[in-house]
Amino acid sequence: MHDAIMACFGDNGLHNMGLSKSNRINQNIAASIYQTKIAGHCRLVTITWSKNVMMGHCLQVNVDDPSFHITCKVEMRPWRFWMKQGWKSFATEGHKVEIHWDLSAAKYAIGPEPQEGYYVAMVCDKEVVLLLGDMSNEALKKSKAIPSNIEATLLSRREYLLGKKLFTTKAQIGDGGRMHELMIEFQTASDGEPRLCIRVDRKIAVQVKRLMWKFRGNQTILVDGVQVEVFWDVHNWLFSCTGEAHAIFMFQTCLANEKPWLKDITACRSIKEWKAPCTSTDKEPAGFALVLYASKTP
């Protein structure tokens, strides 16, 4: 379970999704990890959306557990209309697990994840343990299942963004609440010094001057009255010689007032070295982490 959570922080997580460095630079990726209850046990489910200019959209569902591993991959290529809806079933420990999806009318914005007109449902023993999208009634009807008494919890989300100097996305900071627009801007001041500006709903939340000296750091902000710790690591933007270098940004919430993980991450040389706060699916989530990988395009 620890490895599944750790997959959100670092290149290894993207590699596990079957994406080489050359592929990552050409597509947007968004992956969310949920804590669900399947077959009487807490499981980690990763929903990965990707978008490639040549191959179209792709959905991948992974269920990770020491006793079994489920992978369901749907490639929505333009000429494969029949793949945009369907279902797959698996068996584990005498329980039947089904994954249903309908993306035939899905509408997308700038990212790889659809915004409306779709559903993705995971069913175990005729109970919907995970339901995504705005077509819940259709999902329940198609799967012939009922909602589970225990809702899935969003633990973390990672996105791979492409841009020149401006990187934007929309995200739900934590499990529940409204969507927020996040903007990361790499600026150059009049004196030639690089600067970093992070906006939430177009309002400046973090502004870092003298970035050559403060290429790694953290700052606490408020989003909807909730404390969010923002971390940045732009070392590769400033000092890397490779064209595939990316910066990392993380937005971390904590359910408790205390932040025992804060000391650990600030002691790391990079965000990628940090061990996530929630290391077991049998415990209450320690908070929510949004990780953004930002790569500059020519």
Long-range contacts of residues 133-142, Cβ cutoff 8 Å, at least 24 apart: 135/102, 138/102, 139/100, 139/102, 142/87, 142/100, 142/102
Where do the structural domains in the chain lie, given as residue ranges?
Answer: 2-151, 163-296
Residues 293, 11 contacting (CB under 8 angstroms):
no
Is the pTM value of this prediction over 0.95?
no
Out of 14-28, 53-67, 73-87, 138-152, pick the least confident.
14-28
Residue 24 CA to residue 161 CA, distance in Å, equals: 10
3-class DSSP assignment, residue 176: coil
Which of 43-57, 145-159, 258-272, 278-292 is the most confident on average?
145-159
Q: What is the pLDDT of residue 182?
A: 94
Q: What is the pLDDT of residue 71?
A: 86
pLDDT, mean of residues 17-22: 43
Residues 35, 152 contacting (CB under 8 angstroms):
yes
pLDDT tens per residue, range 247-294 = 999 999 875 555 544 545 444 445 454 444 444 444 555 678 999 999
pLDDT, mean of residues 62-79: 77
In this structure, the chain runs to a length of 298
The residue type at 184 = I
Average pLDDT, the chain: 79
What the block records as the tokens of 258 is 């205390």
Q: Is the per-residue pLDDT at 161 higher than 80?
A: yes
Residues 229, 262 contacting (CB under 8 angstroms):
yes
pLDDT, mean of residues 89-96: 82
pLDDT, mean of residues 120-127: 93
pLDDT tens per residue, range 207-255 = 999 999 999 999 999 988 888 999 999 999 998 766 567 899 999 987 5
Which of 9-23, 97-111, 253-267 is the most confident on average?
97-111
Q: Is the per-residue pLDDT at 92 higher than 70?
A: yes
Q: Is the per-residue pLDDT at 197 higher than 80?
A: yes
